Structure formats: structure tokens, C-alpha cells
Chains A and B, each alone.
Chain A
Amino acid sequence: MGPARASLQAVLRGGAQWGLRGAPWFMLLILLAPVVLGVGLTVLPAFGYLPAIGGEGLTLNHFAALFAAPGLSHSVMVSMVSALVTPLLALLLVLLFLAAASGTRLESWMRRLVSPLLAIPHAAAAFGLAFLIAPSGLLMRWLSPSATGFSSPPDVLIVNDYWGLSLMLALTVKEIPFLLLMALAALPQIEADKRVNIARSLGYRRGLAWLLTVTPALYPLIRLPVYAVIAFASATVDVALIIGPNLPYTLSVQVLQWFNDPDLSLRFMAAAGALLQLGVTLSALLLWRGLEVVFALLGRRYALSGHRGRADSVLRGIGLLGVATAVLLSIGGVVALVLNSFAGFWRFPENLPRSWNLRAWENASLDLASPLANTLIIAVLATLIAIALVIAVLESEQRFQKRLSPSLILLYLPLIVPQIAFLFGIIVATEFLQWTPNIAMVIFAHLLFVLPYSFLALSEAYRRLDPRWSQLAATLGASQWQVFWKVRLPLLLAPCLTAMAVGFAVSISQYLASQLIGAGRVSTLTTEAVALASGGNRSIIAVWALLQAVLPMLGFMLALFVPRLVWRNRKGMRGSA
């Protein structure tokens, strides 16, 4: 090795070392700056300042106009109720289910089911549910006319109902697997089995033993995911567009309508609405915090009372039934999508279409190329950037023996602040800078959501890896970089791929980030699918929703099978995911 090459290598190594040191700060900057700036830049137009469209002074008029808008109070109320009911229902069912199923075969089945359920994007899941529960949906067809007596679809509003009940159902069904996964990942840390066994030996029945001893330790570990659920339920746009109320809309959808209105002056009101959305989400979180305190108090009082409970089997039954229903509705939704996508002529009470065809698929294939390419480019690049950054942050944590990583609450910030509240401000900024919306900006916007989820998916495995592996490698003469490339990364192949699959799925499911930041010019499978919601062609919608759901599923399958293939001759590497 010549001296020039040696010194070049030294410079590179030094640079990489500094890069690692800076990685946590860089990640923090990427996650926080857009959120903080975005919210800041939403505040100005809300108070009337947006010179680009003639807003020069400060005024409260736009808030006055906002509050005078017809239907606003109902919009706010639906958003608020959905923000509280959805997580409450999902969390209760998850806890009751775990209380009933922990340590049984049911739990291990659910472990395997949870990832594919989670992989179904929100929009596809909402379409599936809508096709299932609509008056002319699959369930009604299967029950009619024998059970209901209907020979034509009943004239009731189930999907898009005024009170947002179907919206809440869709969100609950979708959030149950998410909370389940978070809880299942946290349970080993708190030695749930031991706690339950002690309580049972003191005479508590299984379900109650679990609820009284495991919940208090588990909840703090899944609190932030619960907050993310609250924020999402209060502010979702895509799910609400598909299955939520439309006379009036939920608050977030209403804000988006104002924003997209050709009348640019409505943008001021949209900004004020975005701030109101932020307020609604924060109020929901505060109220939830209050509920936490009350529940903790009641739980503690009950535990100290010494009651052994009588309704144990009822509680467990509710948990099992609730989660089973959610799983069946998810699977049923996919079935409904598949049937509709191939359906030809399908008269109402008939269980199955009378004829099948590929027309909708052929039709979609004509328009597919560009959205599919965009979707893949965005998802692959966002996933790769995110995983590289996440690994750099986690590796720097190992290398410098310090938790430099951003604390969880900061990581969760983009997931807790309503998207519309800061994406709005980012658009104000890009318009001010006269940047033409392009795919790179959309990738960056996706990164705000892909990064935190990838980090959450990988951090536990990375930190838990036995430190003796790297110590051993070092004593055998391997440098820190060799340890990283030859030991740590191969040992963590499976969790890294899982984290990438999670990131990929998160990117595919993004609607608002693509729609708003891309200014409608960057079409993805998701934006196309959601755009079809207002039209009525079920077969076409079904095709696009399925396409949207297939990609994340492929990602998770790759993450599952690649390690099995690579390590087919390495017994010690199996089950390390």
C-alpha cells in the first residue's frame, strides 16, 4: 500500500468517524426542522400574512371566517370523538386480548398475523372495509335475502355516515394490529409471565392477573404509539376521504378542500383550519392524558381492594371476540377487494358475481406505469436513506458508548403533530423559494414518517445484540469498521430487512405527503386510489387498492425469506429476526 493511498484511507476513515458522530444530530435536524418550521409557517398565513397572495397585515378575520363556516363544529366534533374513541377501543381490545391470550397458542398465531395485517395500507384497508359493510357490500349480500329479507340494498348511509362511525370502525380495525405489535414487542422487557404467575398464585384469575400486574408496566412502553394513534385518528385525510363523513367533512379533509380550492384567498382560512386541527389533536392528547391518570387511579384502587373479580371470562371473551372481529374484517376487506376487482355483472343479493372478467385490471394497466414507477422510486429511495441513517445513528451509539440517539418523544414528533398542520407550512416555504414540486421533495417528506418507524423497528435489535460479538472480533484484530461490516451487519441482517420493509410500507401508505408536497404532480398508487374514492366504479377502485396493498406485502415477504435463503446452512442464524 503506497503512502498516498494509506493517507487517503486515513482521511476517509476519519471522515466516516465524524459522520457517525454527527449522525444523531443530523437525524434530529431532518425530523424536527420541517415540523417546527412547518408549523411556524402555518401560523403566519392563519393570521393573514402571506404576501404571495396579497396577505400583508395581521388579522383575526380568517379565524372568524373559519368559525363561521357551516358545519365546522360538527367537523371538529367528529375529529375529536374519533381521536378518543378509536385509540380507547383499540387499546382496550388489545389489552383484553393479551390478557386472555398471553402464553397460549393464540398469541403465537397472532404474532405471525400481525405483520401482514399491518402491511395493508390505511387507504386499501378503508376501501376493503367499505366494500364489506356498505349497504350493497359483501356482508349484506351474504346475509340477504335469507337473514335480512332485503332483495335490494337498504337505503341507509353506512359508509360516509354523518357521525363518522364507519370511519372510527376503519381506524380501530387498522390500529389494533399496530398496538398489538407494539405491545408484543414490549412484553419481553417486563417479564409479563412472571408477574402473571405471581398474581395467579395469590388467587387472581388469569385475565385479571394480567390486567392488574402487566398493564401498569406495559402502558408506559406503548404510550407514544398510542399517542401516534390518537394523532392519526384526529387528523387522517385519506381514510376520512374514503370512508368518513362528507356533509360536512372531518376537519382535516375540510382544511384540505379549502387548501385545494381554486380560490386562493381560501388558503388563509385553510391555514387557520390547520392550526385548529393542531389544537384539536393537542386537546385530544391532553384529554387522553387525563384519562390515563383516572384509569391509573382506579386500577390501583381496585388492585389494593383485593377483589378477585367475577367477570374474568367475560372480559377475556370481549378481548378475543373484538380482536378476532378486527382480524376478520381486515381479511374480509381484502377478499371483498379481490372479488370486486374481477367482478363482471353482480346483481344485489347474489353472493358472488355472475360473471368474472379482467376488464378493471386491463383498464388499470393502461394508467399504471407512471404511478407505479413514482411509488417505487419514492419508497425505495426513502427506505434506503432512512435505513442508512438509522444504522448510522445506532452504530454511533455503539461506537461511542453513549445514547446520543434522539429521545423517543422527539422521534415521534412528526407522527404526533398532524400532517396537515406542518405540510401546509412547508408548502408555503417551497412556494416562497419558488421550488417546483418534484419527486425529490416528496421523498424528503416521506422520510419524515419513514425514518421514525424504521428507527423504532430496528433500535431494539441493534441495542440488544450481544456486545461480546464485537469485543471478540476486536480481540481477533478486527477494526471497528470491520466489526461493523463483517459481524454486526450480517448478524442483524434479518432485523435490518424487517425495518426496511416497515419503512417501505410506511412510504407506500403515505397520501398527504405525496399529494400536498407533490402538488398533485407526483401521482402514486395511493394518491390515484384515494382520488378514485369519489367516483363509483368499484372494480377500478378495488384494483388500485389491491395494487397499493400488494407492494408492502411483497416487502414483508422479502424481509422474511431473504434471511432464510441466505442463512439456509446456518442453524445459529435462524429465528434471529
Chain B
Amino acid sequence: MNAHQLHLKSVRIALQERQLLEIDAVIEAGEVLTVMGPSGAGKSSLLAYVAGFLAPAFTASGDILLDTELLNGLAAEHRRVGLLFQDPMLFPHLSVAGNLRFAIPADAQDKEAIVSQALASIGLQGFAKRDPDTLSGGQKSRVALQRLLLSQPKAVLLDEPFSRLDAHLRREVREFVFKRLREAGLPAIMVTHDREDAEAANGVVIAL
């Protein structure tokens, strides 16, 4: 397991002169930093800034350090920062296996085997050729997380990842996600409205 560290060094985000947030934080491997706050507080723009696609209307300053690498100015696809949205966002035009293969780096050997191993690890053997739209909500969430992990990220961003799930499924998916992120030794930033999510993350909570 490679341990990674994400460092937000006096990150400030403003929208037309109005400062939205200021954050200074170090997130160690397997830790989750939770950011809470009302809509419009700039939670999502923080994630967009770290991921590398902040809309031009925003201005941001401060360094994003992943291990020793400075991410500022790097294109999103070179940052090795994974992202989970509210929705699983499985590509509707690809099969389940196609979604996973999309994430595997081009130079990887024996992608077929990687895919079947990945499917087995989330209990979805034999689902390779399935249309993602035919999966249940929980299955979709697991594929989405597995896809993210296959892209070999060094840090992960969670944008209200459980808010669309019903209460029962929510707990199950949440435990699964946090467990896998810890195992993979990935630092994570989670944005949420939900107290329980924050408690389950078991890390530092910043309220905006």
C-alpha cells in the first residue's frame, strides 16, 4: 500500500470579489476531511479547484500539494485525483466492464484480468457485459468506486456521494466506500450536508 498525503496550503476561493472559503489542512493517507456548510458556501468549488476544473468565474489561490507534487496548473487528467459524485455516473454508452476499462491506465498489462478481478472484489462476477442501467443502486455505487480505484488515484474527492441513496443503502455504501479508501491508503475530501456522513468519516470536520 502506498501512503499518500494531500496538503491544502492556505487555499482561498472567491466568487467576484466575495471570499467563499479559506482552508488550510493536511490530510493523511486513509483520512477523510469533511467539509460541511450551506449551499453556495463554496464546497463544490473547493473540490473543483482541487480536481482541476474550477469555472473561470471563480478566483482561487493557495497551493495543492499531493505528496511532494504541486498540483496547481496541472490539467485535471494529470492530477491523479479521483472524484465521486452524488450519482454513480456510470457511462451509459459503455458496459460495466467498459466503464472499468475506461479507468485502467493505457499501459497496464492484461486488462481483462484486472476487470474480472475488480468485479469479483465487489461481488459482481459475471456482470462484465451488463448494461450499467440494469444494475441496482448499490451495485452502481460499487462499480463507480471500483472504477475510481482502477484509475490509480493518489487522492479522492467525494461530492455528497451518498445523498441520493435511501437510508438503508446509504449506511451500507458509506461503510464500503470508507473501508476501501482506507485500505487503499488514500487521503480524501468529502463535501456533505449530512451529519451522519461526517461522523462516519471519522476525521476532521470543517464547517463553513
Contacts and interface: CB of A to CB of B under 8 A. Distances in A.
B93 A475 contact: no
Given A475-B81, A572-B133, A469 B93 contact: no
Contacts of A472: 83, 85, 89
A46 B9 CA distance: 70
Interface of B is mostly: loop
A469 B77 CA distance: 13
A571 B134 contact: yes
A479 B131 contact: no
Contact of B56 (A401, A469, A480): A401
Interface centre among A401, A402, A471, A476 (most CB of B within 10 A): A476
A221 interface: no
A402 B80 CA distance: 26
A573 B92 CA distance: 6
A471 B83 contact: yes
B89 A469 contact: yes
B102 A469 contact: no
A494 to B, nearest CB: 11
Interface in A285-300: none
Nearest to A487: B91
Given A469-B91, A490-B93, A491-B92, A475 B83 contact: yes
Interface residues of B, number: 33
Contact of A468 (B89, B102, B132, B134): B89
A536 to B, nearest CB: 54
A187 interface: no
A476 B55 contact: no
A569 interface: yes
B163 interface: no
Nearest to B150: A476
A474 B76 contact: yes
A402 B51 CA distance: 20
A473 interface: yes
A474 B53 CA distance: 9
7 contacts: A475-B83, A475-B153, A476-B102, A477-B103, A477-B105, A572-B90, A572-B132
A562 to B, nearest CB: 14
Nearest to A483: B77
B146 to A, nearest CB: 12
A199 interface: no
Contacts of B48: 471
B148 interface: yes
Contacts of B89: 468-469, 472
A234 B92 CA distance: 47
A476 B106 CA distance: 11
Q: Which 6 A-B pairs have the closest CB atoms?
A: A572-B92, A571-B133, A474-B76, A572-B133, A475-B83, A476-B151
Interface in A91-114: none
Nearest to B99: A476
A567 interface: yes
A186 interface: no
Given A468-B85, A469-B91, A570-B133, A475 B151 contact: yes
A466 to B, nearest CB: 8
B77 to A, nearest CB: 5
Contacts of B153: 475
A359 interface: no
Contacts of A573: 92-93
Nearest to A491: B93
A486 interface: yes
B147 interface: yes
Contacts of A486: 102
Contacts of B52: 474
Nearest to B129: A569
B30 interface: no
Contacts of B81: 475
